[in-house]
Amino acid sequence: MFKGSFVALITPFRNGKVDEKAFQGLVEWQIAEGTHGLVPCGTTGESPTLSHDEHKRVVELCVEAAGKKVPVVAGTGSNSTAEAVELTRHAKKAGADGALVVTPYYNKPTQAGLYAHYKAIAEAVDLPILVYNIPPRCVIDISVETMARIAKLPNIVGVKEATGDVTRFTKHRNAIGAKFVQMSGDDGLALGHMAHGGHGCISVTANIAPRQLSEFQNACLASDFGKARTIHDRLAPLHEALFIEASPGPVKYAASLLGKCQPDTRLPLVEISEATKQRVRETMASAGLLN
């Protein structure tokens, strides 16, 4: 169920509120363009600045618009275990197909604390869970040994890996087995991750290039790495441009150029610079996304 190009969905805003029409339009476009799965309310969806009511509403809107055509993996992580349990329970009630649970940020738990965190969530909610390991944002890193322990818990089916270490996929596979789902969390490293046995990518760039990223993942899954490399090379400058400033500022601006939503973000994120806008426009054009 969890393989291919999953999009880390942006959350469109208009006049300070969630733009529900634009969000569901984006979901429908993603499905029509071949995206294999949807991930609402992750970091790219500005989950830290969504209220609990908004968070739950966005998940519900995504499930509704998806209509079971592709899987929905709702972001339900928190640095409070109790809050993560609550959000994961809601995701299941809303009809999501899985949950993406990020490591507890700021708290800096030990490896034992990380295991206990995922154990509590997995045992509280009967829903497939992807662990989200992203040390650059959360400071902590789940070791291979701890991941192997977590993988034995009920409902833990895989990981979104964003350590920047492409060899981590091989280490996980050797320690856990090939059935453990490994999704890349980095568009720029997705080719390497897939060559190391990955199952797909939870992609930021897919917000604006869904068809190309779907084709890229289809090529990787078919072991056609020549075709995959050609697509990767075309999109590589765009992958980089979308992270010149804090995400999702650049990708929201890019989506606005395609008429998908307003470029608005919430504080503490601010409007991206003119230099970044120019770089985004140039790389979109070179990728064939703008006329």
- Summarised one tens digit per residue, pLDDT across range 241-268 is 999 999 999 999 999 999 999 999 999 9
Coil/strand/helix, residue 31: helix
Contact 89, 121 (CB under 8 A): no
> Could you give the CA distance from residue 200 to residue 233 in angstroms, rounded to a whole number?
18
The letter for the amino acid at 265 is T
State both tokens at 72.
Answer: 């929905």
Quickly tell me which residue has 């949950």 as its tokens: 99
pTM: 0.96
Q: Which helix (H) or strand (E) holds 100?
A: strand 98-102
Residue 291 has pLDDT above 80, yes or no: no
- pLDDT tens per residue, range 27-45: 999 999 999 999 999 999 9
Any idea of the CA torsion for 238, 240, 244, 246, to the nearest 10 degrees?
A: 90
* Close Cβ partners of 142 (under 8 Å, ≥ 6 residues apart): 103, 111, 114, 131, 133, 150
For the chain, list the domains and their CATH numbers: 4-231 (3.20.20.70)
Q: At what angle do helices 144-151 and 168-176 cross, to 10 degrees?
A: 40
Q: What is the pLDDT of residue 1?
A: 82
SS3 assignment, position 72: strand
Residue positions annotated with a catalytic role: 132, 160
